[in-house]
């Protein structure tokens, strides 16, 4: 079983739609959680950190459920520029700060 699992998609949605991505992680000792965005053939860029209380940044909302080991990302009012791969990322500190990435969920927003 992969440490971080995501639905690979692709998710094809029209502009203005609301889309949700889910992610599960296997290590209950995981401490920090993130969503990164990666455009085609570019480096991953930090989109937002995820906290147990939930957090929002404009059109983006992230939630963490530690009991279920589940992370989500909600994008409201999708824009064409949101088209990218969204990577769910977990940090489990075991003497090193290695990030464990999911395989990513591809989003294509269509006009």
If one asks whether residue 59 binds another protein (CB under 8 A), the answer comes out as no
In the complex, what is the shortest distance from the CB of residue 91 to another protein, in angstroms, rounded to a whole number? 4
Count how many Cα atoms sit within 13 Å of the Cα of residue 96 in the half-sphere of its side chain: 3
C-beta closer to another protein: residue 17 or 38? 38
If one asks whether residue 108 binds another protein (CB under 8 A), the answer comes out as no
In the complex, what is the shortest distance from the CB of residue 26 to another protein, in angstroms, rounded to a whole number? 15
Binding residues for another protein restricted to 17-56, rule: CB under 8 A: 31-32, 34, 41-46, 49
Q: Is residue 98 a contact partner of residue 3, using CB atoms and an 8 Å limit?
A: no
Angle 88-90-94 from CA coordinates, rounded to 5°: 165
**Token pair for residue 111?**
């006009």
Q: Is residue 83 a contact partner of residue 107, using CB atoms and an 8 Å limit?
A: yes
In the complex, what is the shortest distance from the CB of residue 57 to another protein, in angstroms, rounded to a whole number? 14
C-beta closer to another protein: residue 15 or 56? 56
**CA-based radius of gyration for the chain:** 14
- Count CB atoms within 10 A of the CB of residue 14: 9
In the complex, what is the shortest distance from the CB of residue 61 to another protein, in angstroms, rounded to a whole number? 19
Catalog residues that contact another protein under the rule CB under 8 A. Answer: 4, 31-32, 34, 41-46, 49, 87, 89, 91, 93-104
């Amino acid at each position: 079983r992969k440490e971080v699992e995501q639905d690979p998609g692709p998710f094809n949605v029209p502009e203005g739609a609301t889309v949700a991505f889910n992610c599960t992680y296997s290590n209950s000792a995981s401490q920090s959680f993130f969503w990164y965005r990666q455009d085609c053939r570019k480096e991953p860029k930090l989109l937002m950190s995820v906290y147990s209380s939930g957090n929002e940044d404009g059109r983006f909302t992230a939630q963490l459920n530690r009991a279920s080991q589940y992370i989500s990302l909600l994008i409201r009012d999708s824009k064409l520029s949101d088209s990218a791969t969204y990577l769910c990322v977990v940090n489990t500190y075991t003497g090193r700060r290695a990030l464990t990435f999911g395989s990513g969920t591809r989003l294509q927003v269509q006009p």
